[in-house]
Amino acid sequence: MTNIKKLISKPLFLPIFCMILVMAVNIIFDAINGNFALNFFTISVRNGILYGRLIDVLNRGSEIAILAIGMTLVVSCSAGTDISVGSVMSLAASFCCMLLAGFGVSSTSSYNVPLFVGVIAGILLAGVCGAFNGALVAFLNVQPMVATLILFSAARAIGLLLCNNLIVYVRVDSFGVFGGHLGILPTPIIIAAVCILVATVLLKKTALGLYVQSVGINRKASRIAGVRSERIIFICYIICGLCAGIAGIIASSRITSADSNNIGLNFELDAILAVALGGNSLGGGKFRLAGSIIGAYTIQAITTTLYALGVSTEQAPVYKAIIVIIIVAIQAPPVKAFFARRQAKKAALKGGVA
Amino acid sequence: MKSLKKINGNTLLLLITIALFVVMYIAGCVVYSTKGFTHLQTFLNILINNAGLLCVTCGMTCVMLTGGIDISVGSLIAMDCMFIAVGIEKWNMNPILLMVLVLVIGAVFGMVQGFCVGYLKIQPFIVTMAGMFFGRGMTAVICTEQVSVSSSELFVKIAQTKIELPFGAYTNNKGVLQVPYVRIPVVIALVVLIIVFLMLKYTKFGRSLYAVGGSEQSAVMMGLDVAKTKLKAYVLSSVLCSIGGICFCLNTMSGSVQQATGLEMDAISSAVIGGTLLTGGVGNVIGSFFGVLINGTISTLVKTNGKLLSSWSNIAVAALLCFFIILQSVFAKIKEKSK
């Protein structure tokens, strides 16, 4: 009994538990349908590429994982969420493709500017968007969600303007690499791994991680202690923007085009869900990057499972919304207090009997 | 001098809004005078097109007064429209009954959200974002394709009724007498506006909304049931949103999954432009009304131009929102300093 309690109180319990639950659903589903029960875990090599549902989850989940890095920092330091990430992804993709193809061109088979210029410009523009959000939140004290609401609506519209209301196709093989394969592995997995590595080093080896947490726990106290709260928040939003940019380039490269209306649609919910699922409080303060990342892949696993169960793309949000509310409700202080009270009552009863 | 003192930061914001609307409209009249912008009907069309938005904004204002936010409204409208459209076309139900059902759905929807916000103390944004995705997904569950309403005579009749105004008639360049008209949604929206205005000003509930938004702690100490007030605010918002959904459905006469996307943004920006503070406690629906008018004028200007892409109106509204948010925070800083 005590062992179970210890297990539940572990910080990474929630995301890992959810992941196991999803896998169990997959196994049961496969078994019912008469397929090989461990279909979910089989990995094979076809046409020189790793193939399998697990790989697919890792591959498709890359964008969410990258977004989750930035979102974790933003949630931690400002106790709010950046809801513009999906739109900023779309903007970064549109800007990159617009530069590569030239303005007003809807399909190109040769680059207008070198590839790396386009990609870096796209990511930088996303960084600028992050800086805009950060400036509003950090220096003007606007609530994070409202500040990011501006770009939530505007970024996608600006992306459409940049693309002249067209879907810009970049039909060059080298552009498809970011969403395709590098050797045997899908590239998005590699990019996500690199981003996670960089973020971990940045947070563990420098003081940034500590500063972010201290600002999140108490902004005023950390300022008095000598941490520049405003600047830390500003930096977090820029990092979040850059992450959104990288994710946008991957998403765009997958379809070798910039579809402003659809790239990054609903990704903000997934990213926030990943953070919440990772056991991080949406009220800010302490954070666990590992939790968010496991959360991100769990969400992708849920999505993949939903699709495998025959739920359409448009209907999937219903289930995700229900999951969000349940997770957040469990974390809510009054609910926690309720369970704590019940536990105390039980303990008191036990004590009385003994 | 005395009257000058009365104009504090908040009324100033409202005055700026009204001035902005007048300037914008006059500019439109001057620039597009050849395209019929000066006719009364253009103004009435703004009202007709934004009747639904006006209802939604009234609800949004009430929620924002408590310091919360409701971004589920756009999807709730899509869900309502789809429900009405499918109900009429596929289930052959009475439109009036459907409209009542939609209001009930709205109330339940708002109750769940309000419970999460008020009693479970979850951030309003997260709750209503889940609501937003739930609504949009639910729309797809009801039906994934676009459904247009045509089989119910009663519904079509309500939707197409023109209420002609007794003044402002003019003859157009073909020599036909044009009588300016409004449609039923406009009447509904204006009634909603007046009721909400009176409610906020004179009822206990209305005043407690301001109290909760102004300072939650003081409200608790005053003996107000904060959780209950919040719950009621979200229910009110969702019900008004459902009324807006009915107006919207009467206007478009169809339901589709992609309907009213980004409407929450329009509603929030209208309320903010109208002087409602995001931190709660300050604002009224008259400002929101002008916010909606500004919103409508911008999109009408973009449409009248004809050459601009429609995303320009999105960008213009976002820029305005940004401007007003910055203005608000500057006012707040000045206030803090003067203390």
Output the pLDDT for position B175.
Answer: 67
Mean pLDDT of the A155-176 span = 85
Between CA B103 and CA B241 the distance in angstroms is: 9
Residue with tokens 């205005």: B197
Q: Nearest chain B Cα to A266, which residue?
A: B133
CA angle A170, A171, A173 (to 5 degrees): 110
pLDDT tens digits, B269-279: 888 888 888 77
Among A269, A272, A275, CA closest to A289: A275
pLDDT tens digits, B116-168: 888 888 888 788 888 988 898 888 888 888 888 888 788 888 888 888 777 76
Between CA A286 and CA B292 the distance in angstroms is: 41
Higher-confidence position of B261 and A132: A132
CA of B324 to nearest chain A CA: how many angstroms apart?
11
Contact A141 B329 (CB under 8 A): yes
Specify whether the CB–CB gap between B251 and B52 falls below 8 A.
Answer: yes
Name the residue facing B141 among A157, A160, A315 (closest C-beta). Answer: A315
The region that residue B163 occupies, defined by phi over 0 for left and psi between -120 and 50 for alpha, beta otherwise, is beta
Output the pLDDT for position B334.
Answer: 81
Mean pLDDT of the A157-164 span = 87
- Amino acid B213 reads G
Mean pLDDT of the B28-52 span = 81
Dihedral of alpha carbons B21, B24, B29, B34, sign? negative
Residue A119 has pLDDT above 50, yes or no: yes
Contact B319 A154 (CB under 8 A): yes
Name the residue facing A160 among B123, B125, B311 (closest C-beta). Answer: B311
Between CA A203 and CA A136 the distance in angstroms is: 24
Residue A37 has pLDDT above 70, yes or no: no
Higher-confidence position of B244 and B164: B244
Specify whether the CB–CB gap between B55 and B44 falls below 8 A.
Answer: no
Residue with tokens 């979910």: A40
Output the pLDDT for position A85.
Answer: 92
Contact A150 B325 (CB under 8 A): yes
Residue A3 has pLDDT above 80, yes or no: no
B14-325 in CATH: which number? 1.10.3470
Residue B292 has pLDDT above 50, yes or no: yes
Name the residue facing A269 among B133, B262, B311 (closest C-beta). Answer: B133
Rg (C-alpha) for chain A, rounded Å, is: 22
**Structure tokens, A24:** 């169990």
- DSSP, collapsed to helix, strand or coil, labels residue A165 as coil
pLDDT tens digits, B83-121: 999 988 888 888 888 899 999 999 999 999 999 888 888
Mean pLDDT of the A284-304 span = 87
**Structure tokens, A96:** 């990159």
Among A70, A133, A40, A1, CA closest to A274: A70
Output the pLDDT for position A353.
Answer: 57
Output the pLDDT for position B2.
Answer: 46
Residues 6+ apart with CB under 8 A from B338: none
pLDDT band at residue A332, thresholds of 50, 70 and 90?
confident
CA angle A220, A282, B238 (to 5 degrees): 115
Output the pLDDT for position B242.
Answer: 93
pLDDT tens digits, A206-227: 888 889 989 988 888 888 888 8
Mean pLDDT of the A97-114 span = 82
Mean pLDDT of the A155-165 span = 87
Output the pLDDT for position A319.
Answer: 83
Q: Which residues of A touch B136 (CB under 8 A)?
A: 314, 317
Between CA A203 and CA A344 the distance in angstroms is: 38
Q: Nearest chain A Cα to B262, which residue?
A: A153
CA angle A180, A184, A186 (to 5 degrees): 30
A61-310 in CATH: which number? 1.10.3470
Output the pLDDT for position B1.
Answer: 42
- Disruptive mutation site among A88, A142, A303 for chain B (greatest number of B CBs within 10 Å): A142
Query: How many CB atoms are closer than 10 A to CB B26?
Result: 12
Contact A329 B322 (CB under 8 A): no
Output the pLDDT for position B8.
Answer: 64
CA of B127 to nearest chain A CA: how many angstroms apart?
7
What percent of chain A has a predicted confidence (pLDDT) above 70? 93
Mean pLDDT of the B27-46 span = 79
DSSP-assigned letters across all residues of B123-184? -HHHHHHHHHHHHHHHHHHH-SS-EE--S-HHHHHHHH-EEE-SS--EE-TTS-EE--EEEH
Query: How many CB atoms are closer than 10 A to CB A307?
Result: 12
Specify whether the CB–CB gap between B249 and B255 falls below 8 A.
Answer: yes
A148, exposed or middle or buried, with CB in 10 Å at 0-12, 13-18, 19+? Answer: buried
Q: Which residues of B touch A315 (CB under 8 A)?
A: 137, 140-141, 144
- Amino acid A127 reads G
Output the pLDDT for position A92.
Answer: 93
Contact B120 A312 (CB under 8 A): no
Q: Which residues of B touch A266 (CB under 8 A)?
A: 133
Query: How many CB atoms are closer than 10 A to CB B106?
Result: 28
CA angle B77, B81, B82 (to 5 degrees): 115
- Disruptive mutation site among B60, B125, B261 for chain A (greatest number of A CBs within 10 Å): B125
Q: Which residues of A touch B314 (CB under 8 A)?
A: 153-154, 156-157
Percent helix / strand / coil, chain A, rounded to 5 = 70, 5, 25
Specify whether the CB–CB gap between B116 and A333 falls below 8 A.
Answer: no
pLDDT band at residue A90, thresholds of 50, 70 and 90?
very high
Rg (C-alpha) for chain B, rounded Å, is: 20
Total CB pairs under 8 A between chain A and B: 132
Q: Which residues of B touch A151 (CB under 8 A)?
A: 318
Contact B311 A161 (CB under 8 A): yes
Question: Facing residues of A44 across strands?
Answer: A51
pLDDT band at residue A2, thresholds of 50, 70 and 90?
low
Output the pLDDT for position A183.
Answer: 74
